[in-house]
C-alpha cells in the first residue's frame, strides 16, 4: 500500500505546502495540526503532496480530541470537491466512529471503542478492495 507522512515538526505556522485546506482554519503548533474554527460541521485538510497510486491505501495519525464537540481523525478515498470520503474520527468523552460522508451527508458505518478526552491515540484507517477497516493503537476497532 502507498503511504505519505507529515510529522508537523516545524515552527508554529500554517499547515504547509503539502496540504490543501478544504474547510476550516488550520494551524501547526507543538508538532500537531490544529483545526481552530468553531461550529458544528466537518472541517478537513487533505495531504496532497503524494497522491495514492491506487484505491488501496491507508491513512494514519497520532490524534487527540479535547472533547465531544471536537473530533479528530483520518480519511481515505476522499474527494475535496464533493465532500465524499470514509472517515474514522474520535470524539473525546465519547467514541470512535467509522463513517461514510457523501456530498456532506454522514452515514455511521460502525461505532468503535471509547475515546478518552485529551488522550493521545495512534489511529489507522485502511482501504483495500471493498474492505474499510480501522484500528486504534494497533488493535482492530471497526470495520
Q: What angle do CA 113, 74, 94 make, to 5 degrees?
A: 30
What is the pLDDT, as a whole number, of residue 2?
Answer: 56
Render pLDDT for 108-126 as a digit per residue (tens, 0 to 9): 999 999 999 989 899 999 9
CB atoms within 10 A of CB 121: 19
Say which residue, 143 or 81, is predicted with more confidence: 143
Give the three cell numbers for residue 66.
479535547
Q: Is pLDDT above 80 for 142?
A: yes
3-state secondary structure of 17: coil
pLDDT averaged over every residue in the chain: 83
Instruction: Break the chain down into helix, strand, coil percent, rounded to 5.
Output: 0, 60, 40
pLDDT tens-digit map of 20-70 = 887 788 888 888 787 777 666 677 777 776 666 777 888 888 888 877 777
Mean pLDDT of 66-82: 76
Q: What average pLDDT does range 127-131 have in this prediction? A: 90
Please name which of 60, 61, 64, 21 lies closest in space to residue 42, comparing C-alpha atoms. 21
**Residue 72 near residue 116 (C-beta atoms within 8 A):** no
For the cut 90, the answer to whether the pLDDT of residue 13 exceeds it is no
Pairwise CA distance, residues 42 & 133, whole Å: 21
Count of residues in the chain? 143
Residue 122 bridge partners (DSSP): 62
Amino acid at each position: 500500500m502507498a503511504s505519505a507522512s507529515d510529522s508537523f515538526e516545524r515552527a508554529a505556522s500554517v499547515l504547509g505546502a503539502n496540504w490543501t485546506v478544504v474547510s476550516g482554519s488550520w494551524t501547526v503548533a507543538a508538532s500537531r495540526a490544529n483545526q481552530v474554527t468553531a461550529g458544528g460541521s466537518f472541517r478537513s485538510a487533505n495531504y496532497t503532496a503524494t497522491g495514492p497510486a491506487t484505491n488501496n491505501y491507508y491513512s494514519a495519525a497520532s490524534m487527540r480530541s479535547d472533547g465531544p464537540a471536537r473530533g479528530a481523525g483520518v480519511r481515505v478515498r476522499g474527494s475535496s470537491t464533493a465532500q465524499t470520503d470514509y472517515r474514522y474520527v474520535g470524539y473525546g468523552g465519547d467514541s470512535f466512529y467509522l463513517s461514510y460522508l457523501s456530498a456532506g451527508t454522514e452515514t455511521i458505518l460502525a461505532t468503535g471503542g471509547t475515546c478518552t478526552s485529551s488522550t493521545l491515540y495512534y489511529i489507522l484507517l485502511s482501504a483495500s478492495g471493498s474492505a474499510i477497516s480501522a484500528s486504534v493503537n494497533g488493535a482492530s476497532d471497526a470495520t
